[in-house]
Amino acid sequence: MSTPISKRAQAISPFHVMDILAQAKTLQARGHDIIHMEVGEPDFETPRPIIEAGIKALEQARTHYTPALGFPELRQAIADCYQTHYNVKVSAERIIVTPGASGALLLAMGALLDNGRKVMLADPGYPCNRHFARFVEGEVNAVPVTAESHYQLNAKHVEDYWDAETSLALVASPSNPTGTVLTKSELAALSAAVKKEQGTLIVDEIYHGLTYDGFDAPTALAVDDKAFVINSFSKFFGMTGWRLGWLVVPEGYTEVMDRLAQNLYLAAPTMSQYAALAAFETSTLNILEERRHILEHRRDALMPALEQVGFKFAVKPQGAFYLYADCSALLNEQLPDSMALSRYLLKEAGVAITPGLDFGNFEAEKHCRFAYTTSEERLLEAADRIGRLLRRHSVTGYGRCEADE
Ligand SMILES: Cc1ncc(COP(=O)(O)O)c(C=O)c1O
């Protein structure tokens, strides 16, 4: 008899990009040069001061559990960062250190979403959110968003789509996959609309720090001290592999999060927590500022290069490191959707991107996501390869390729 797998686990689908990744590996093993633009993490390594603090922690044998809510000095350092950076007062008591933003999402959904209740999300949006909802036996109220609202949920969406089962709204600003940012007044209006429905707002601020054109993303805590705010050391601080993030909860919610954290994962990694203390040092912040400039440069180089080969952008993203491109002008009978196009670009041009289907259903077939997480030179080479491929095939027609066999 085979071992049964829970319905909950069966309902969690793999990302379509895994298919692209597997093919990329096959092609790489055959000696093809693949340009990776599907990966949601920057190519930079963790800043040296953080690595050194991590090494020091290990040398000092900081290898035991910390309290489930996190090591107190780190909770205080995160609280201080709200004061310094956003001029918002948050007590360390309200900071819960987690294993990445993923751990924070699990705590927030686990504590706030009841069986059968719905969380309102933007479609397109970060794919794991709907799976977290499913995992805690909740449902999703997916709202199609367009360039008109900068691909973000707004107060009007809440008014139009909130229903009796919906109890939460979750937004990410800057967003994955669109890189768009909510302004302070948009956040305030969203928060008021959610409160009017007696709902709770969760804001994922994981891409904070990575904003461009002189724009600084406001924290939701500046307009709503009842919001749950998620953040992470993964993206801006370049610590994806250290698995460290945090959740800011309103007064009165620390105890429930403590209980959940104790039971779900005991504590975030100790060595990473010590290392992260160095994340707020000036030497680290200077390195991160340089990287932010590099990312901005990449965005400014890649966007026009992709436009030249036929992709369209309804908005210029102000944050994160993604471009959400409309590829409808490149589709045809042989390449009917963004999944087919993604496979084709990988096989024929050696360029790996993420098809829109990974981020939801709404117009997913005509969108794809480019991550500018590799050097500008490689990004431009990718655009050039795509351009040459499409020109060639506009003359010869689309053909089969090696990886099809
Ligand atoms: C919007 C968003 N939230 C959360 C996460 C999870 O990040 P981590 O668990 O590495 O902090 C990601 C990762 O890509 C993301 O894009």
pLDDT in tens, the chain (405 residues): 678 999 999 999 888 888 888 888 899 999 999 999 998 888 999 999 999 999 999 999 999 999 999 999 999 999 999 999 999 999 999 999 999 999 999 999 999 999 999 999 999 999 999 999 999 999 999 999 999 999 999 999 999 999 999 999 999 999 999 999 999 999 999 999 999 999 999 999 999 999 999 999 999 999 999 999 999 999 999 999 999 999 999 999 999 999 999 999 999 999 999 999 999 999 999 999 999 999 999 999 999 999 999 999 999 999 999 999 999 999 999 999 999 999 999 999 999 999 999 999 999 999 999 999 999 999 999 999 999 999 887 655 554 444 443
For residue 391, count other CB atoms closer than 10 A to its CB: 11
Segments of 37-148 assigned E as strands: 95-98, 118-123, 139-144
Res 396: pLDDT: 56
Q: Which atom of ligand 1 is nearest to the CA of 125?
A: 1
Instruction: List the residue whose alpha carbon is closest to atom 16 of ligand 1.
Output: 176
Instruction: Kindly tell me the number of DSSP H helices and DSSP E strands found in the chain.
Output: 13, 12
Q: How far is the CA of 132 from the centre of ligand 1 (A)?
A: 12
Instruction: Give ranges for CATH 3.90.1150.10 in the chain.
Output: 7-45+284-393
Whole-number Å distance between alpha carbons of 113 and 106? 10
Ligand 1 atom, smallest distance to 126 CA: 1
DSSP letter, residue 13: P
Return the residue whose CA atom lies nearest to atom 14 of ligand 1.
40
Local structure of residue 86 (DSSP, 8 states): I
Nearest to 145 by CA among 180, 117, 118, 111: 180
User: What is the reported pTM?
Assistant: 0.95
Strands (E), 264-377: 322-326, 351-352, 354-355, 367-371
Distance 405 CA to ligand 1 centre (A): 35
Q: Hey, which CATH number is domain 48-279, 3.30.1490.20, 3.40.50.620, 3.40.640.10, 3.40.50.300?
A: 3.40.640.10
The per-residue pLDDT for 393 is: 74
Order of all β-strands in the sheet with 367-371: 322-326, 367-371, 354-355
What CATH class is the domain 7-45+284-393?
alpha beta
Q: Which atom of ligand 1 is nearest to the CA of 232?
A: 11
- Which tokens in the block code for residue 369? 């996501």
Burial class (CB in 10 A: 0-12, 13-18, 19+), 258: middle
As given in the structure block, the two tokens for residue 182 are 């909510």
Kindly state the tokens that stand for 240: 């994806």
Strand partners, 119: 140, 168
* Distance (Å, whole) CA 105 – CA 98: 9
**Distance from residue 100's CA to the centre of ligand 1 (Å):** 7
Residues spanned by CATH 3.40.640.10 within the chain?
Answer: 48-279
Q: Which residues line ligand 1 (CB under 6 A)?
A: 40, 100-102, 126, 172, 176, 204, 206, 232, 234, 240, 245
Pocket test for ligand 1, best of 96, 129, 176 (most atoms within 8 A of CB): 176
